[in-house]
């Protein structure tokens, strides 16, 4: 059987694309654009994981707000309606395209390690990582960045007052909203983790401790007070004053490390975006401490050297090339990526087309290279579990691509008493011990070791695409370590396979992250493809639970501006509740 398969593989793959192409001559033109339809609009759009939040952004667009105002409104609203990942107590990344200045801003509002953090803080007496402390204790929280990020973006690039932009979020918390199925089911699933904290239990469950059912009113008065304070005072309403007092009290009530000084010292940073090209597209993405931008560009550079379109979308030969590119990128990630304020990340070398050519040269077209045979580049040339994404676009052509998170769903599960928001467990994104995998199976070393004031390495990958100098697409995804590969495939679907937003979103995805040496296929890939890949030596598995039981790879929120001027968007159908609001 295996020999037969090998023969088949040899026939189809050893001869390069030729054999495959010959087999396809009966259907030379493949148009993907009538398969699924995106939401279409003339003026503006907001795509997020939750309908209330998308509509909050749309309300702001209709009032005359720009894409940045809409993004900030959506970000604050998600903190109310999508507490799995929408947050005040976490952090993230925002890419902003300002049409009038033809400029991209890469805003880093990732959490920072508190001053009292130290390299070995999560090791137990035996020198092993104590996963409970790294993931579910107060110590797992980094200093939150979301409120600084959203208010900075609003103050510098928004058009409306902060209080107006935050009004929908305040209203959703204060008046409440009707619980939808997605949140009700999620809260039931996390009843045990959230119920372990009396404050979270009170905030997210009924007085008798039972979960709210779909159709019931859900109000969050403490959160409404916090949002009102921020709406009135900006970031000072969170990093100083009574909200800051509540955060520090909550930290002290357990073993938490965050103090007033940490909150006062928190800064969101504008960084130079990562830029790359793929054929006639420009790709603009988030720089470190996100690893996503560097590696999406690195993998696109490798893949650009092959005519992928002729191989056929999701053919075994296409998936093989994707997979091998992913292994090299994640190997380099483990060694070279970290917070650029603490570690010199070789961005130019990693995103260099020549280096990509070297990787391409090592990739065998007919066989998988075992991950144990792949190591991070020994030298580079010198050079000078829930997260959520939303995208916005306005009539003027401004766009925002924002991914933010608490890390796992509901972060560390602990709510700040009296202030009504959950705390992150982002400290687990550091490499607590070289070579020991974190909650997403990712390994790292010194580049991503814990240091006070440092930001943990992230996989969050907001991306913007441009063509002929014009803004054409904003996208991004949750999914921990699978974020980078989900985003890669979504942009390839558009740039290489000419798919529309909906089709590019819906098509089945794959994932490989070097270690574990496992090629994950989403449902929807054919058995033939699976067998061909297995025969090439890939250890193929169905979707694993990187994301705490989710059976999917990512959940992209995409907006595309079409050549005819229409705005086309797609909320990923992989998770319930996502919605494209448009007008
Ligand atoms: O920043 C990161 O890479 C992770 N904290 C993201 C976590 C995540 O995406 C969870 N699941 N969807």
Distance in angstroms (rounded) separating the CA atoms of residues 476 and 161: 27
492-520 tens-digit pLDDT:
999 999 999 999 999 999 999 999 999 99
Query: What is the structure's pLDDT at 549?
Result: 44
User: Which stretch of 10-19, 27-36, 243-252, 479-488 has the lowest confidence by average pLDDT?
Assistant: 10-19
Residue 83 Cα to ligand 1 midpoint, Å, equals 14
Residue nearest to atom 5 of ligand 1 (CA): 407
Residues 118-131: b if buried by 16+ CB within 10 A, e if exposed: ebebbbeeeeebbb
Which of 480, 509, 511, 543 for a ligand 1 pocket mutation test, highest count of atoms within 8 Å of Cβ?
480
DSSP structure string for 223-280 = HHHHHHHHHHHTTHHHHSHHHHHHHHHHHHTTT----HHHHHH---EEEPPEEEEETT
pLDDT at 236 > cutoff 90: yes
Give the pLDDT confidence score for residue 26 in this predicted structure.
Answer: 47
Chain CA centroid to CA 59, Å: 25
| pLDDT, averaged across the chain | 92
- Chain-centre distance of CA 505, in angstroms? 15
Q: Write the DSSP symbol of residue 10.
A: I
Least confident piece of the model among 10-14, 184-188, 263-267, 474-478 = 10-14
Report pLDDT for 380. Answer: 65
- Of the chain, the percentage scoring pLDDT greater than 70 comes to 92
- Give the chain's domains with CATH numbers: 2-42+271-385+459-582 (1.10.246.130)
Positions of E strands within 477-566:
510-511, 519-521, 540-542, 557-561
Ligand 1 atom at shortest distance from the alpha carbon of 479: 12
pLDDT value at position 543?
Answer: 64
Report, as an integer, the average pLDDT of 216-245: 98
Residue 437: predicted pLDDT: 86
Q: Closest ligand 1 atom to the C-alpha of 555?
A: 12
369 is catalytic: no
pLDDT band of 29, cuts 50, 70, 90: low
pLDDT at position 210 over 60:
yes
Residue 19 — pLDDT band, cuts 50, 70, 90?
A: very low
- β-pair partners for 123: 129
Distance 55 CA to ligand 1 centre (A): 25
Q: What is the Å distance from ligand 1's center to 135 Cα?
A: 13
Helices (H), 86-239: 131-136, 146-157, 162-174, 181-189, 191-195, 198-204, 221-233, 236-239
Query: Does 1 score more than 50 pLDDT?
Result: no
Conformational region of residue 468, where left means phi above 0, alpha means psi within -120 to 50, and beta covers everything else: left
Which of 459, 461, 547 best tests ligand 1's pocket when mutated (most atoms within 8 Å of CB)? Answer: 459
Which residue did the predictor score with more confidence, 422 or 437?
A: 422
Choosing from 387, 403, 405, 485, which is the catalytic residue? 387
353: Cα within 13 Å, side-chain hemisphere: 7
Partner residues linked to 109 by β-bridges: 92
- Ligand 1 centre distance from Cα of residue 479 (Å): 6
- pLDDT at position 32 is 72
Q: What is the pTM of this model?
A: 0.93
Q: Which of 11-15, 111-115, 261-265 has the lowest mean pLDDT?
A: 11-15
Q: What is the pLDDT of residue 3?
A: 53
pLDDT in tens, 129-178: 999 999 999 999 999 999 999 999 999 999 999 999 999 999 999 999 99
Q: Tell me the sheet residues that pair with 106.
A: 95, 271
Which is higher by pLDDT, 13 or 490? 490
pLDDT tens sequence across 516-557:
999 999 988 999 999 999 999 999 987 644 444 456 899 999
Q: Which atom of ligand 1 is nearest to the CA of 292?
A: 3
Ligand 1 first shell, C-beta below 6 A:
385-387, 405, 407, 426, 429, 458-460, 478-480, 483, 547
pLDDT at 419 over 80: yes
Q: Where are the beta strands (DSSP E) in 355-483?
A: 386-393, 399-407, 463-467, 470-475
Closest ligand 1 atom number to CA of residue 483: 9
Q: Ligand 1, residue 388: give the atom nearest the CA.
A: 12
Q: How far apart are the first and last CA of the chain?
A: 56
Mean pLDDT is lowest, of 13-27, 246-260, 413-427, 532-546, for 13-27
Q: What is the mean pLDDT of residues 406-418?
A: 95
Output the residue whose Cα is nearest ligand 1's atom 6: 480
User: Quick one: average pLDDT of 248-275?
Assistant: 97
3 state SS of 568:
strand
The answer to whether 271 touches 285, Cβ cutoff 8 Å, is: no
Q: Does pLDDT of 27 surpass 90? A: no
CB 480 within 8 A of CB 406: no
Protein residue with least CA distance to atom 1, ligand 1 = 458
pLDDT tens sequence across 114-140: 999 999 999 999 999 999 999 999 999
Rg over alpha carbons for the chain, rounded to the nearest Å, is 23
Residue 111's pLDDT is 98
- Of the candidates 416, 435, 443, 387, the one whose C-alpha atom is nearest the C-alpha of residue 555 is 387
Query: How much distance in Å is there from the Cα of 396 to the middle of ligand 1?
Result: 32
CA distance 42 to 567: 6
Q: What is the pLDDT of residue 319?
A: 98
Q: What is the DSSP string of 34-58?
A: TTS--EEESS-EEEES-HHHHHHHH
Q: How far apart are CA 62 and CA 60, in angstroms?
A: 5
Peptide bond into 516 cis (omega under 30): yes
Q: How far does the centroid of ligand 1 lie from the alpha carbon of residue 429, in Å? A: 8
Which residue's alpha carbon is at the smallest distance from atom 10 of ligand 1?
A: 385
Distance CA(566)–CA(347), nearest Å, equals: 35
Return the closest-CA partner of residue 217 out of 167, 180, 270. 180
| Range 449-478 average pLDDT | 97
């Amino acid at each position: 059987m295996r020999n037969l398969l090998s023969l088949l593989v040899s026939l189809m793959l050893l001869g390069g694309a030729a054999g495959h192409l010959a087999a396809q001559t009966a259907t030379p033109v493949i148009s993907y654009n009538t398969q699924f339809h995106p939401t279409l609009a003339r003026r503006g759009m907001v795509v997020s994981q939750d309908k209330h939040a998308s509509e909050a952004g749309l309300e702001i667009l209709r009032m005359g707000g720009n894409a940045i105002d809409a993004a900030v409104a959506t970000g604050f609203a998600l903190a109310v309606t999508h507490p799995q990942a929408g947050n005040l107590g976490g952090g993230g990344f925002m890419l902003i395209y300002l049409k009038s200045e033809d400029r991209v801003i890469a805003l880093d509002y990732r959490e920072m390690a508190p001053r009292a953090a130290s390299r070995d803080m999560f090791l137990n007496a035996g020198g092993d990582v104590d996963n409970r402390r790294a993931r579910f204790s107060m110590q797992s929280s980094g200093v939150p960045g979301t409120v600084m990020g959203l208010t900075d973006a609003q103050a510098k690039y928004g058009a409306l007052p902060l209080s107006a932009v935050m009004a929908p979020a305040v209203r959703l918390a204060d008046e409440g909203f009707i619980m939808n199925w997605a949140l009700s089911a999620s809260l039931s699933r996390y009843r045990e983790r959230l119920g372990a904290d009396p404050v979270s239990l009170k905030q997210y469950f009924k007085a008798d401790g039972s979960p709210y059912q779909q159709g019931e009113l859900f109000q969050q008065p403490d959160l409404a007070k916090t949002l009102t304070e921020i709406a009135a005072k900006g970031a000072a309403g969170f990093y100083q004053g009574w909200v800051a007092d509540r955060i520090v009290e909550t930290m002290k009530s357990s073993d938490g490390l965050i103090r007033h000084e940490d909150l006062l010292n928190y800064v969101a940073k504008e960084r130079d975006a990562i830029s790359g090209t793929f054929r006639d597209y420009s790709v603009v993405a988030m720089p470190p401490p996100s690893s996503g931008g560097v590696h999406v560009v690195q993998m696109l550079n490798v893949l650009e050297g092959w005519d992928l379109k002729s191989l056929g979308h999701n053919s075994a030969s296409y998936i093989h090339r994707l997979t091998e590119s992913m292994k090299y990128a994640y190997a380099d990630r483990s060694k070279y990526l970290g917070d650029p304020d603490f570690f010199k990340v070789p961005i130019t070398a990693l995103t260099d087309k020549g280096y990509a050519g070297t990787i391409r040269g090592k990739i065998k077209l007919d066989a998988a290279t075992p991950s144990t045979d792949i190591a991070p580049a020994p030298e580079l040339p010198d050079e000078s579990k829930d997260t959520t994404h939303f995208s916005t676009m306005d009539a003027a052509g401004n766009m925002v691509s924002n991914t933010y998170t608490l890390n796992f769903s509901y972060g560390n599960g602990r709510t700040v008493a009296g202030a009504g928001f959950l705390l992150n467990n982002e400290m687990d994104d550091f490499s607590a011990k070289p070579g020991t995998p974190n909650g997403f199976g990712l390994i790292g070393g010194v580049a991503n070791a814990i240091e006070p004031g440092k930001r943990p390495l992230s996989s969050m990958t907001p991306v913007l695409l441009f063509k002929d100098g014009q803004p054409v697409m904003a996208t991004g995804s949750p999914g921990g370590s699978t974020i980078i590969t989900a985003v890669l495939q979504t942009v390839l679907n558009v740039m290489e396979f000419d798919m529309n937003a909906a089709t590019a979103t819906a098509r089945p995805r794959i994932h490989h992250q070097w270690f574990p040496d496992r090629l994950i296929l989403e449902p929807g890939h054919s058995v033939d493809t699976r067998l061909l890949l297995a025969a090439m030596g890939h250890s193929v598995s169905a979707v694993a639970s990187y994301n705490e039981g989710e059976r999917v790879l990512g959940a992209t929120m995409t907006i595309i501006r079409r050549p005819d001027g229409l705005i086309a968007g797609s909320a990923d159908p992989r998770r319930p509740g996502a919605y494209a609001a448009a007008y």
